[in-house]
């Protein structure tokens, strides 16, 4: 009985940890368009672009000069 309880607890803890890792975001561009991403965009200092995955699975890069805000949902 305790093995099953411990396994259930460990599974719940693992799922909670994974759920906390990805947080969808909305990127608002200077022209007013909004783009939703699967997770928080990563900013690449060398290239000057935000890189993220859209909801449809496409990998996208947007120049930081075009981005007004990035908000986590």
In a domain, 68, yes or no: yes
Give the pLDDT mean for 4-31. Answer: 74
Query: Residues 6 or more apart from 30 whose CB is under 8 A from it?
Result: 65, 66, 67, 68
Which range of residues forms the domain containing residue 47? Answer: 23-73
| Total of domains in the chain | 1
Residue 38, φ and ψ in degrees, nearest 5? -70, -40
Give the pLDDT mean for 35-60. Answer: 95
- The CATH number of the domain holding residue 44 is 2.30.30.100
Q: What average pLDDT does the chain have?
A: 86
In a domain, 63, yes or no: yes
In a domain, 14, yes or no: no
pLDDT at 28: 97
Q: DSSP per residue over 16-44, as a string? A: HHHHHH---EEEEETTS-EEEESSPPEEE
User: Which pTM does this prediction carry?
Assistant: 0.68
In a domain, 32, yes or no: yes
């Amino acid at each position: 009985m305790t093995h099953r309880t411990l396994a259930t607890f460990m599974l719940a803890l693992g799922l909670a940890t994974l759920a906390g890792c990805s947080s969808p975001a909305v990127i608002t561009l200077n022209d007013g368009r909004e783009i939703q991403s699967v997770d928080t965009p990563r900013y690449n200092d060398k290239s000057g672009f935000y890189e993220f995955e859209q909801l449809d699975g496409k990998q996208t890069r947007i120049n930081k000069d075009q981005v007004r805000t990035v908000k986590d949902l």
